[in-house]
Copies of this chain bind each other. A is one copy, B any other.
Amino acid sequence: MIRNECRHCSVKSKAAKKLKDAETESLSFNCALTSFKKGHVLIKQGMLSTNVVYLRSGLIKLHIEGPYGDQIVRIVKAPGYLGLPTTFGDKINQYSITAIDEVEACFIDITTFRNLLYSNPDFSYEIIIDICRNELEIYNRCVNRSQKQIRGKIADVILEMAGPIYDSDSFTLPISQEEIGNLIDSSRESVSRILAEFEKDKIISVSGKKIEIKKRESLLMISAKG
């Protein structure tokens, strides 16, 4: 399963540029870049964790088992770090991370990760920026989830898949309709009905899990009007 060794795989962009300076030593570590297939659980809610996950490629879902079943909080695309909160708090994972696509990732020991943060301000800075972005994303998602109705939320999911996630108007849904329901707080049946409706209105075409956007403007309108 292991594909190759991934030296400094976590140190990218600005931080990476500084690898030549005095701090190089403390930034060096090896981690095994491993690939996992769809469905693999990288982080399991309720379990003790001693690693941060660096997601090199692929898609994951961050989901929480709530009082009434599983809820997908968000879908995250590589690259990025996962499981940071556990690095600091009580180390029991508060959520699960599951691959919803073929995924490449490596596990970085918490201590190594902490040293990295301490020894490299650029790295810390990047992490902070990253988490802040997440924070904004989740705030907006919260507002959308509660203020829009199903049609608008499904339009959003489709646009997000086409846009940030797959970068194409034609893509294969990486999750089931039930999971879409868990992502937008609605039932499997409603998702099915709305998708059928969109298809009937020639806004999208559906064949199995393949979706193609036919009228992007319509989706944008539906998304905007709540």
Contacts and interface: CB of A to CB of B under 8 A. Distances in A.
A128 B88 contact: yes
Contacts of A119: 121
B135 A67 contact: no
B121 A118 contact: yes
A216 B67 CA distance: 19
A80 to B, nearest CB: 13
Contacts of A88: 128-129, 132-133
B138 A138 contact: yes
Interface of A: 62, 64, 66-69, 71, 73, 84-85, 87-89, 94-95, 114, 117-119, 121, 124-125, 127-129, 131-136, 138-148, 185, 224-226
23 contacts: A64-B140, A66-B144, A69-B147, A71-B147, A73-B139, A84-B128, A85-B132, A87-B132, A88-B128, A88-B132, A94-B140, A114-B125, A117-B128, A118-B125, A119-B121, A127-B128, A128-B128, A131-B135, A134-B135, A138-B139, A145-B146, A146-B146, A146-B185
